[in-house]
Amino acid sequence: MASHLGRLYALAFALVVFFLTWAVVAAHPWASPAPDRRLRALAVREAELRREARLVHEVVAQRWAAYASELKLRRARIAAVRSRAAQLAAQATVAPAPASAAPSVRVVTLPPLTITRSS
């Protein structure tokens, strides 16, 4: 290799191979990555949240069932009261109330209002 151009190409090739080898060795492609503690903690937290969510759904389902049964009873009571009120209203229209009832309101008249100012 007597030419300078050949030496430059050889030097450039050697540098490229050197840095490429350096990058490959620095990347450690043969080593398996260590499991991240944060990811493991995140997976544990996710499992806890899923379990809690399942429990919450069960509690909500139980409460909803209790509410639905109580609502059914309440609606039945309301319907019974309304039907009883309708029966009483029908009976009231048949038997009119006495017409000579005295008014229960008392009218009061007051003296005129006087305003005095003090400085």
The predicted structure's pLDDT at residue 78: 96
Which residue has tokens 């450039």? Answer: 12
> What is the per-residue pLDDT across 44-69, written as a single tens digit (0 to 9) for each?
999 999 999 999 999 999 999 999 99
Given pLDDT bands bounded at 50, 70 and 90, which one contains residue 79? very high
Cα atoms in the Cβ-side hemisphere of radius 13 Å centred on 81: 6
In the structure encoding, which two tokens stand for residue 37, read together? 């503690």
DSSP 95: S
Q: Tell me what pLDDT residue 38 has.
A: 92
Model-wide pTM > 0.85: no
User: What's phi and psi for 45, nearest 5 deg?
Assistant: -65, -40
pLDDT per residue over 3-21, tens digit each? 889 899 999 999 999 999 9
